[in-house]
């Protein structure tokens, strides 16, 4: 028993530090395994993003304690796997405050605040941790008023709990644009720890106040790697890549977060090779770093590498999938776009738009129209980008009446004001249908200054239909704009 306890302690030590290989080696060497042994291995797999291994470990266990169930619950919470998290919670034979608190945090991460509050209100008892979790759920989702209400009703407030809660309250104020209130609250804190200093540094950076962020950083009585990360984030997130690189080089120690910010910075400045090199040597890879590399490859046109990274990623992550999906859609790779879309566990409006656009551009207008209807049924409201895709699709398919019907539905049904892009789509649809007079009238009367795209579309249609007089007018307007390429189309009349 003593040997097992000592081995479990070593296994737990490796687990807390994310040393997955050492944790597995330690686990393999333990002959008399108990529930603590298995729970530690489960946690090690979960913390390093190996969710499938964590699930397999859980299924192999001969006995499971509430701590084991909580570890599995936390695994799904971290991975954003809401359905699995809920199913696990409902299957738990026993629950405690940690179980309920994990559910609140999991719902908050996915912005299901109503469900999170329902769990909070159904708890048999509360403590400072559960109150703080509910408080932070609203604070971190920019719901400052609800967060303040929960904060004011907390039954006990130790100094530590107050610092944690006030720091979250500062974040809530700042996210809602109330920087002055955030500053006042920071000044009124009975004590300030390094977390609150780091929070203020990052909040200044998020508002683009780099001078204030640097002053807050310089004013810190002590600094840790998170302090450096806050300053690094300040530069990286505001596009100051050279300052971010200098800060990274000056850091006494790097962690997964600082490396992730640099992977992003390298990618945004076109240094894909440097980003990949840093990613390859990272001691632990975060979801942010995986996403950054996938986005780097996708946006730079390296789709094979982007797809390979997406396949290797430990979890199926929404933004990473959306980046690859959008790249495939842009290049017209419909089959590959469909494969990515189908693989995604969850979708957002961007992924729906990308797949809809891919179908519309490829001439599969019936599929695009079906996606347009389905996304609404799934609870995703069409936005201006959605209508650009569907209007282009109907226009290219010669379905002018359907395009007009959707165009006229934008304002009353979706509260969307038509933009220049939408008017240009309709002008193009009219041109393709041979209604050149209507197209010219629309271009001249739309509440925007027509650009070269609108006039070039009309000029091309005039050439196709032999309308020389109208073509001359369109060419003249293009010359006024400064587009000399119209000579090529004009000479082909």
Ranges 10-14, 267-271, 348-352, 474-478: which has the least confidence? 10-14
The pLDDT of residue 484 is 58
Q: Pick the more confident residue, 189 or 101.
A: 101
Q: DSSP state, 207?
A: T
| d(C-alpha 115, C-alpha 284), whole Å | 32
Q: Are 257 and 229 in contact (CB under 8 A)?
A: yes
Quick check: 113 pLDDT over 80? Answer: no
Q: Which of 39, 55, 45 is nearest to 87 (CA)?
A: 55
With tokens 């992730």, the residue in question is 260
The pLDDT of residue 219 is 86
HEC-encoded secondary structure of 417-481: CCCHHHHHHHHHHHHHCCCHHHHHHHHHHCCCCCCHHHHHHHHHHHHHHCCHHHHHHHHHHHHHH
Mean pLDDT value of segment 359-367: 91
Q: How much of the chain, in percent, has pLDDT values that exceed 70?
A: 76
pLDDT band for position 34 (cuts 50, 70, 90): low
Ranges 22-31, 245-254, 264-273, 336-345: which has the least confidence? 22-31
| d(C-alpha 122, C-alpha 136), whole Å | 18
Ranges 173-177, 356-360, 430-434: which has the least confidence? 173-177
Which one of 152-156, 265-269, 345-349 scores highest in mean pLDDT? 265-269
The answer for residues whose C-beta is within 8 angstroms of residue 343's C-beta and 6 or more apart is 316, 321
Quick check: 169 pLDDT over 80? Answer: no
C-alpha 268: how far from chain center = 17
Condensed to tens digits (0 to 9), the pLDDT of residues 287-305 reads 888 988 998 898 888 889 9
C-alpha distances out from residue 136 to 96, 117, 120, 226, 334, Å: 20, 12, 12, 19, 41
The structure tokens listed for 391 are: 């209007």
| d(C-alpha 96, C-alpha 126), whole Å | 10
Mean pLDDT value of segment 480-493: 60
Secondary structure of residue 33 in the 3-state scheme = coil
| d(C-alpha 355, C-alpha 378), whole Å | 15
Which value, in Å, is the radius of gyration of the alpha carbons in the chain?
A: 28
The pLDDT of residue 20 is 57
Quick check: 407 pLDDT over 90? Answer: yes
Quick check: 10 pLDDT over 70? Answer: no
pTM of full prediction above 0.85 = no
| d(C-alpha 480, C-alpha 78), whole Å | 57
| d(C-alpha 303, C-alpha 217), whole Å | 39
Quick check: 174 pLDDT over 70? Answer: no
The pLDDT of residue 177 is 64
Q: Pick the more confident residue, 490 or 325.
A: 325
pLDDT band for position 231 (cuts 50, 70, 90): confident
The structure tokens listed for 344 are: 């995604």
Specify the DSSP element, H or E, that contains 185: helix 179-188
Q: Pick the more confident residue, 198 or 438.
A: 438
Which one of 10-24, 68-82, 162-176, 280-294 scores highest in mean pLDDT? 280-294
Mean pLDDT of the chain: 80
Q: Are 67 and 96 in contact (CB under 8 A)?
A: no
The pLDDT of residue 37 is 65
| d(C-alpha 99, C-alpha 180), whole Å | 37
Quick check: 467 pLDDT over 70? Answer: yes
Condensed to tens digits (0 to 9), the pLDDT of residues 44-64 reads 655 656 666 666 766 666 667
Positive or negative torsion for Cα 127, 132, 133, 135: positive
| d(C-alpha 399, C-alpha 446), whole Å | 21
Condensed to tens digits (0 to 9), the pLDDT of residues 423-455 reads 999 999 999 999 999 999 999 999 988 888 889
Ranges 124-133, 251-260, 262-271, 428-437: which has the least confidence? 124-133
Q: Are 8 and 34 in contact (CB under 8 A)?
A: yes
Q: How much of the chain, in percent, has pLDDT values that exceed 90?
A: 23
Q: Which of 162, 204, 151, 208 is nearest to 179 (CA)?
A: 204
pLDDT band for position 240 (cuts 50, 70, 90): confident
C-alpha distances out from residue 437 to 253, 429, 430, 443, 459, Å: 67, 13, 9, 10, 12
With tokens 């738990």, the residue in question is 92
Which one of 125-129, 247-251, 326-330 scores highest in mean pLDDT? 247-251
Q: Are 330 and 301 in contact (CB under 8 A)?
A: no
C-alpha 183: how far from chain center = 28
Quick check: 243 pLDDT over 80? Answer: yes
Q: Which of 372-388 are b and which e, b meaning 16 or more Cβ less than 10 Å from the residue's Cβ?
A: beebeeeebebeebbbb
With tokens 């979960």, the residue in question is 46
């Amino acid at each position: 028993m003593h040997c097992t306890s000592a081995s479990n302690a070593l296994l737990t030590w490796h687990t807390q530090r994310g040393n997955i290989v050492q944790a597995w080696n330690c686990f393999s060497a333990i002959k008399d395994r108990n529930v603590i042994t298995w729970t530690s291995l489960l946690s090690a797999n979960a913390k390093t993003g190996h969710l499938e291994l964590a699930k397999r470990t859980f299924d192999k266990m001969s006995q499971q304690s509430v701590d084991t169930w909580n570890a599995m619950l936390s695994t799904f919470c971290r991975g954003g796997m809401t359905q699995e998290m809920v199913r696990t919670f409902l299957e738990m034979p026993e629950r405690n405050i940690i179980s309920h608190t994990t559910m609140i945090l999991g719902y908050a991460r996915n912005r299901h605040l109503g469900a999170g509050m329902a769990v909070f209100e159904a708890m048999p008892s509360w403590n400072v941790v559960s109150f703080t979790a509910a408080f932070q759920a609203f604070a971190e989702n920019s719901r400052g008023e609800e967060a303040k209400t929960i904060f004011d009703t907390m039954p006990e407030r130790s100094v530590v709990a107050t610092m944690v809660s006030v720091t979250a309250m500062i974040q809530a104020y700042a996210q809602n644009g109330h920087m002055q209130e955030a500053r006042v609250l920071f000044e009124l804190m009975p004590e300030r720890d390094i977390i609150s200093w780091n929070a203020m540094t990052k909040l200044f950076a998020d508002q683009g106040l780099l001078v204030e962020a640097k002053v807050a950083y310089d004013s810190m009585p002590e600094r840790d790697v998170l302090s450096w990360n806050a300053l690094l984030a300040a530069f990286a997130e505001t596009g100051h890549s050279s300052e971010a690189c200098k800060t990274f080089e000056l850091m006494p120690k790097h962690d997964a977060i600082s490396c992730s910010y640099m992977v992003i910075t390298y990618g945004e400045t076109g240094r894909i090779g440097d980003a990949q090199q840093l990613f390859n040597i990272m001691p632990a890879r975060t979801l942010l770093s995986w996403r950054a590399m996938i986005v780097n490859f996708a946006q730079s046109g390296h789709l094979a590498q982007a797809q390979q990274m997406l396949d290797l990623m430990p979890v199926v992550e929404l933004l990473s999938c959306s980046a690859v999906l959008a790249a495939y859609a842009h290049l017209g790779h419909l089959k590959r776009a469909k494969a990515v879309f189908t693989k995604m566990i969850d979708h957002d409006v961007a992924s729906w738009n990308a797949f809809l656009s891919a179908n519309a551009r490829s001439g599969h207008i019936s599929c695009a129209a079906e996606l347009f209807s389905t996304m609404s049924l799934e609870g995703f409201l069409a936005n201006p980008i959605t209508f650009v895709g569907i209007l282009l699709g109907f226009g290219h398919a010669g379905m002018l009446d359907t395009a007009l019907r959707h165009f006229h539905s934008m304002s009353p049904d979706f509260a969307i004001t038509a933009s220049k892009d939408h008017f240009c789509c309709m002008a193009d649809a009219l041109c393709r249908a041979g209604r050149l007079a209507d197209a010219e009238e629309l271009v001249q009367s739309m509440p925007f200054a027509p650009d070269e795209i609108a006039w070039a579309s009309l000029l091309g249609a005039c050439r196709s239909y032999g309308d020389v007089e109208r073509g001359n007018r369109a060419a003249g307007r293009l010359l006024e704009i400064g587009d000399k390429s119209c000579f090529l189309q004009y000479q082909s009349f």
